[in-house]
């Protein structure tokens, strides 16, 4: 099987010759240059013979063109961070305008996708990373968004419509660039942040609008659920064939989740990034274990799924300090399980 055939089979729960696997991390030393970033990601993927590329634009790319101030280090071990948010008053939500996909920082990520799709090895699937409208809004306004959600819902919903349409513009252009799907990341599908009713009104409604723009046009579409105490029973109903979450850190684990849905799971490696004073830190199996321990860790996850409907990857972005031996071990673990 080639890489695309392997991924497609896993998404459908069909037999594969080896378990598909990939790892993704921030390339912060080059992520302000779309060409350099594409070259780095494709080279990384080929070096370790991973089955697909999950594109890694920097995490705040969605908000800079709306006036967010971003502190950029161009340092492999320091991701860009938010230095100033454009939403300081409820009226600031009304200043957001729909952006075209070719504009500013959004446009750079489109260039990144275009270049990566041209450079990738034949039959290597590529997923572009996008964020849920509410996740983007939270980055724009910070924690005040939860106050505005209660006190000014109409104004906030109007802003979410603007963000949704901007996302759809970006999606259309990325499909034209040749991506095979989207890694849809939400950082708010957690009972630690909101209840079911609020999530349905302010998150799910807009999430589904975004997904409608690509779910029937691309095949490799993954739902990433960030955080703990996640709303798994809600997101498992989203119209995407694959789910990725912190499965080795928060509930449910693969064994529990496979009884709740027949979707494919992407994960099995415990990677838990967290922020301290705006700077990203990691609790990382990839960075902190030895290859043999890592292989056993991955085999445990594959066994939970009986070797079916699974692709190996981190539960979230992995630590850039991960040693080469462990990155090679990911491929070895996925290869050796079915042999």
Based on C-alpha coordinates, what's the Rg of the chain? 19
Average pLDDT value for residue range 236-250: 97
Average pLDDT value for residue range 105-114: 98
Decide if pLDDT at 16 tops 90.
yes
Residue 79 has a pLDDT of 94
Decide if pLDDT at 293 tops 90.
yes
Residue 281 has a pLDDT of 86
Average pLDDT value for residue range 172-185: 98
Spatial CA neighbour of 128 closest among 161, 177, 164: 177
Q: Which CATH code, of 3.20.20.210, 3.30.70.360, 3.40.50.2300, 3.30.365.10, is assigned to 3-337?
A: 3.20.20.210
Decide if pLDDT at 239 tops 90.
yes
Tens of pLDDT, residues 111-145: 999 999 999 999 999 999 999 999 999 999 999 99
Decide if pLDDT at 36 tops 90.
yes
The interaxial angle of helices 324-337 and 291-304, nearest 10 deg, is 40
Residue 182 has a pLDDT of 98
Question: At CA 12, angle to CA 5 and CA 46, rounded to 5?
Answer: 35
Q: Where are the domains of the chain?
A: 3-337
**113 in helix, strand or coil?**
helix
Average pLDDT value for residue range 150-157: 98
Residue 338 has a pLDDT of 81
Q: Which residues contact 161 (CB under 8 A, 6 or more apart)?
A: 206
Cβ contact 228:246 at 8 Å:
yes
- pTM value > 0.85: yes
Residue 53 has a pLDDT of 98
Q: Which residues contact 85 (CB under 8 A, 6 or more apart)?
A: 68, 69, 139, 140, 141, 142
């Amino acid at each position: 099987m080639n890489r695309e055939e392997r991924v497609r089979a896993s998404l459908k729960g069909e037999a594969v010759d080896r378990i598909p696997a990939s790892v993704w991390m921030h390339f912060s030393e080059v992520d302000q240059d779309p060409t350099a970033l594409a070259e780095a990601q494709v080279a990384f993927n080929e070096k370790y013979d991973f089955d697909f590329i999950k594109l890694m634009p920097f995490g705040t790319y969605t908000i800079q063109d709306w006036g967010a101030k971003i502190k950029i280090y161009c340092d492999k071990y320091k991701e860009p961070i938010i230095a100033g948010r454009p939403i300081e008053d409820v009226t600031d939500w009304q200043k957001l305008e729909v952006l075209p996909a070719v504009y500013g920082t959004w446009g750079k990520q489109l260039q990144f996708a275009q270049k990566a799709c041209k450079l990738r090895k034949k039959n290597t699937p590529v997923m572009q990373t996008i964020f849920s409208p509410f996740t983007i809004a939270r980055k724009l306004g910070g924690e005040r968004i939860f106050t505005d959600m209660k006190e000014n819902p109409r104004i906030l919903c109007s802003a979410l419509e603007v963000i949704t349409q901007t996302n759809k513009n970006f999606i259309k252009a990325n499909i034209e660039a040749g991506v095979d799907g989207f890694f849809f990341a939400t950082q708010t599908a957690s009972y630690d942040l909101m209840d079911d009713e609020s999530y349905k009104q302010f998150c799910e409604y807009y999430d589904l609008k975004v997904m409608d723009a690509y779910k029937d046009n691309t095949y490799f579409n993954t739902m990433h659920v960030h955080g703990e105490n996640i709303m798994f029973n809600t997101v498992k109903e989203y119209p995407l064939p694959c789910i990725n979450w912190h499965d080795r850190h928060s509930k449910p684990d693969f064994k529990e989740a496979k009884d709740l849905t027949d979707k494919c799971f992407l994960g099995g490696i415990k990677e838990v990034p967290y922020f301290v004073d705006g700077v990203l830190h990691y609790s990382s199996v990839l960075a902190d274990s030895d290859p043999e321990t890592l292989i056993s860790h991955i085999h445990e996850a594959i066994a939970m799924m009986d070797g079916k409907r699974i692709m190996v990857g981190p539960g979230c972005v992995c630590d850039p300090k991960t040693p080469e031996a462990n990155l090679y071990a990911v491929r070895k673990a996925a290869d050796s399980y079915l042999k």
